[in-house]
């Protein structure tokens, strides 16, 4: 006959350990699922560049939502919109794969009953990096498809490649990852990969920085030589050159403009001092400067940084300070002071020994 009234007695620590052993796999599984879910949802960006010369801040938020619905995006919560007025573009970001596939279909925006064509393209993601290669010869007939097909790299996956402009053989290559590879192979030719440091672009219509002439939102054209609006062309302008961006004595398209200077790769951004700690420069300023010798011996003029034991020497009479230094006399004085000091120490040790002997014998 079994008796169910008995209770198994277990140590509290052992019971806690057994419960924890069952809970830990569940916690680890939950943590792994959270990490996997976080890693899978990377932010993707689509940039809309207006084909017509229309300012992007003229499009309403409702116009953008209507254009997204036309592109097949049903949920308006899956993406965010950001206006880039300097580059005159619109950036749409999302973490949903389905929405990221539909955003490139957005090629027109309706405003006041009129359709405005836009050109969508994918922006570079956070886990991507760009480099520049210089293939030999004239490569002006190369297309992004042919460049990508004939280019290989063992250290990183190549995502995209394109020519950097007309009349140049430089190729801009986009790699996966945050570290730039040193070499790539293009048509069996080994090429070095250089760091991509873009120079700020200048609009050849309004000559402002940040956008190109094909997306310039300005209604009036300005001269790149003097920065003014006039009928004659820039080649015919005989005025003094004046940059519209920095007011310097050079055209707006000059590479000498400080606003268009390529950032130095060796230049590091200074880190702010940690909170609660004083920086080295501030600590150096807080140290009082040593006053210059005035030739006077007034006790009230002694600086605060001199310790008390040294002030007696500073407060000597001028006749004593001006006297010649006697090395032999000072040496004898030092020996006498050392002898007296050791004598006092030995006497103190003898007294301590006597006290210990009395305590040991119980007297």
pLDDT in tens, 107-143: 888 888 888 888 888 887 778 899 999 999 888 888 8
Tell me, yes or no, whether 187 and 209 share the same domain.
no
* Region at 34 (left for phi over 0; alpha for psi -120 to 50; beta for the rest): alpha
Tell me, yes or no, whether 191 and 203 share the same domain.
no
pLDDT of residue 235: 63
Judged against a pLDDT cut of 80, whether residue 261 lies above it is answered with no
Judged against a pLDDT cut of 60, whether residue 90 lies above it is answered with yes
The values of phi and psi at residue 184, to 5°, are -135, 160
CB 209 within 8 Å of CB 238: no
Q: Is residue 301 part of a domain?
A: no
Tell me, yes or no, whether 141 and 185 share the same domain.
yes
Judged against a pLDDT cut of 60, whether residue 9 lies above it is answered with no
Q: Name the least confident of 74-88, 248-262, 285-299, 344-358.
A: 285-299
Domain boundary among 195, 213, 228: 195
Tell me, yes or no, whether 117 and 60 share the same domain.
yes
Tell me, yes or no, whether 105 and 135 share the same domain.
no
CB 75 within 8 Å of CB 65: no
Confidence of residue 198 (pLDDT cuts 50, 70, 90): confident
Tell me, yes or no, whether 190 and 214 share the same domain.
no
For residues 91-100, average pLDDT: 85
Q: Name the least confident of 142-151, 208-217, 262-271.
A: 262-271
Tell me, yes or no, whether 214 and 252 share the same domain.
yes
pLDDT of residue 16: 56
What CATH number should be reported for the domain holding residue 251?
4.10.60
pLDDT of residue 306: 59
Q: Is residue 31 part of a domain?
A: no
Tell which residue, 115, 45, 89, 124, has the closest CA to residue 214: 89
Average pLDDT of every residue of the chain: 75
Judged against a pLDDT cut of 50, whether residue 354 lies above it is answered with yes
Exposure letters 115-143 (e unless 16+ CB within 10 A, then b):
ebebebeeeeeeebbbbbbebeeebeebe
Q: Name the least confident of 231-235, 298-302, 358-362.
A: 298-302
Tell me, yes or no, whether 217 and 165 share the same domain.
no
For residues 29-57, average pLDDT: 67
Domain boundary among 57, 89, 122: 122
For residues 32-60, average pLDDT: 71
Domain boundary among 79, 102, 122: 122
Residue 110 token pair: 């309706």
Looking at per-residue confidence, does 2 or 125 come out higher? Answer: 125
Q: Is residue 155 part of a domain?
A: yes
Q: Name the least confident of 1-5, 146-150, 277-281, 329-333.
A: 1-5
For residues 46-61, average pLDDT: 83
Q: Is residue 74 part of a domain?
A: yes
Looking at per-residue confidence, does 292 or 156 come out higher? Answer: 156
pLDDT of residue 36: 47
Q: Is residue 319 part of a domain?
A: no
What CATH number should be reported for the domain holding residue 62?
3.30.70.330
pLDDT of residue 38: 43
Q: Is residue 108 part of a domain?
A: yes
pLDDT of residue 120: 85
Tell me, yes or no, whether 72 and 118 share the same domain.
yes
10 Å Cβ neighbour count for 72?
13
Tell me, yes or no, whether 73 and 115 share the same domain.
yes
Tell me, yes or no, whether 255 and 220 share the same domain.
yes
| Biggest distance spanned by C-alpha atoms of the chain | 120
Q: Is residue 157 part of a domain?
A: yes
pLDDT of residue 157: 92
Q: Is residue 355 part of a domain?
A: no
The model's pTM: 0.46
Give the percent of the chain with pLDDT over 70: 69
Q: What is the pLDDT of residues 282-338, one digit of tens each?
A: 666 666 665 555 555 554 555 565 556 555 555 555 544 445 567 778 888 888 888
pLDDT of residue 303: 58
For residues 102-111, average pLDDT: 86
pLDDT of residue 28: 53
For residues 214-238, average pLDDT: 74
Judged against a pLDDT cut of 90, whether residue 189 lies above it is answered with yes
pLDDT of residue 258: 81
Which domain covers residue 135, as residue numbers? 128-195
> In 3-state terms, what secondary structure has residue 97?
helix
Tell me, yes or no, whether 136 and 181 share the same domain.
yes
The rounded distance, in Å, linking the Cα atoms of 126 and 105 is 23
Looking at the 3D structure of the chain, how many domains does it have? Answer: 3
């Amino acid at each position: 006959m079994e008796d169910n009234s008995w209770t198994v007695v277990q140590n509290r620590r052992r019971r806690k350990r057994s419960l924890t052993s069952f809970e830990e796999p569940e916690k680890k599984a939950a943590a792994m699922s959270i990490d996997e879910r976080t890693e899978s949802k990377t932010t993707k960006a689509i940039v809309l560049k207006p084909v017509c010369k229309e300012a992007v801040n003229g499009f309403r938020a409702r116009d953008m939502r209507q254009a997204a619905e036309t592109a097949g995006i049903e949920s308006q919560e899956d993406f965010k919109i950001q206006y880039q007025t300097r580059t005159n573009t619109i950036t749409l970001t999302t973490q949903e794969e389905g929405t990221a596939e539909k955003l490139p279909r957005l090629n027109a925006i309706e405003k006041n009953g009129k359709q405005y064509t836009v050109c969508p393209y994918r922006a570079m993601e956070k886990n991507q990096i760009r480099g520049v290669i210089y293939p030999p010869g004239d490569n002006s007939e190369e297309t992004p498809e042919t460049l990508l097909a004939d280019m290989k790299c063992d250290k990183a996956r190549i995502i995209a490649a394109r020519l950097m402009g007309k009349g140049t053989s430089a190729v801009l290559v986009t790699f996966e990852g945050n570290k730039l590879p040193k070499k790539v192979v293009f048509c069996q030719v080994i090429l070095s990969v250089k760091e991509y440091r873009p120079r700020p672009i200048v609009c050849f219509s309004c000559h402002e920085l940040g956008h190109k002439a094909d997306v310039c939102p300005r209604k009036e054209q300005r001269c790149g030589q003097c920065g003014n609006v006039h009928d004659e062309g820039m080649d015919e302008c005989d005025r003094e050159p004046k940059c519209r961006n920095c007011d310097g004595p050079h055209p707006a398209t000059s590479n000498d403009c400080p606003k268009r200077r390529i950032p130095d790769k060796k230049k590091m951004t200074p880190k702010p001092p940690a909170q609660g700690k004083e920086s080295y420069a501030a600590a150096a300023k807080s140290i009082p400067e040593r006053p210059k010798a005035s030739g006077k011996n007034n006790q009230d003029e002694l600086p605060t940084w001199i310790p008390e034991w040294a002030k007696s020497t500073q407060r000597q009479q001028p006749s004593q300070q001006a006297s010649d230094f006697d090395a032999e006399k000072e040496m004898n004085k030092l020996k006498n002071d050392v002898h007296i000091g050791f004598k006092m120490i030995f006497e103190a040790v003898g007294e301590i020994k006597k006290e210990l002997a009395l305590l040991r014998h119980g007297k």
